[in-house]
Amino acid sequence: DAGITQSPRHKVTETGTPVTLRCHQTENHRYMYWYRQDPGHGLRLIHYSYGVKDTDKGEVSDGYSVSRSKTEDFLLTLESATSSQTSVYFCAISDPSGSGGYNEQFFGPGTRLTVL
């Protein structure tokens, strides 16, 4: 899986609690992304990072924040989880300077989050 791990892999939490998901890479890729996957929606971008401490919003960023203090780690935080944030969350990485300029994204194994 291109040296990408996500933790935890499964989590059940209650509405109103904070949750942090971690993505860790060993590929030294510059770009990192967080997506959520829901039936009928495909994957939707939440936030992405184009370098340490450089982040930007995706199409479904409300209710989520991110941080990247090291190249290898990208954290996704739900400040106060809601049931609508029940989903499968995927992290991805890419390197625009490699892979022939394709900037192909490689995906982690996913985290299944349930908010009760």
Partner 1 sequence: ELKVEQNPLFLSMQEGKNYTIYCNYSTTSDRLYWYRQDPGKSLESLFVLLSNGAVKQEGRLMASLDTKARLSTLHITAAVHDLSATYFCAVVRFGNEKLTFGTGTRLTIIP
The encoded tokens of residue 112 equal: 């299944």
Is 90 a residue that touches partner 1 (CB under 8 A)? yes
Distances, alpha carbon 43 to alpha carbons 34, 49, 57, 59, 83, in Å: 10, 17, 15, 11, 18
Is 3 a residue that touches partner 1 (CB under 8 A)? no
Is 51 a residue that touches partner 1 (CB under 8 A)? no
Q: What is the separation, in whole angstroms, between the first and last Cα of the chain?
A: 30
Is 25 a residue that touches partner 1 (CB under 8 A)? no
Is 110 a residue that touches partner 1 (CB under 8 A)? yes
Is 75 a residue that touches partner 1 (CB under 8 A)? no
What is the total count of residues that contact partner 1 (CB under 8 A)?
25
Beta carbons within 10 angstroms of residue 42's beta carbon: 8
Residue listed under structure tokens 């924040």: 65
User: Among the candidate windows 7-15, 16-24, 61-69, 107-115, which touches partner 1 by CB under 8 A?
Assistant: 107-115
Residue listed under structure tokens 């039936």: 39
Binding mask of the shown chain, residues 26 to 45, with x at each position contacting partner 1 by CB under 8 A: -----x-x------xxxxxx
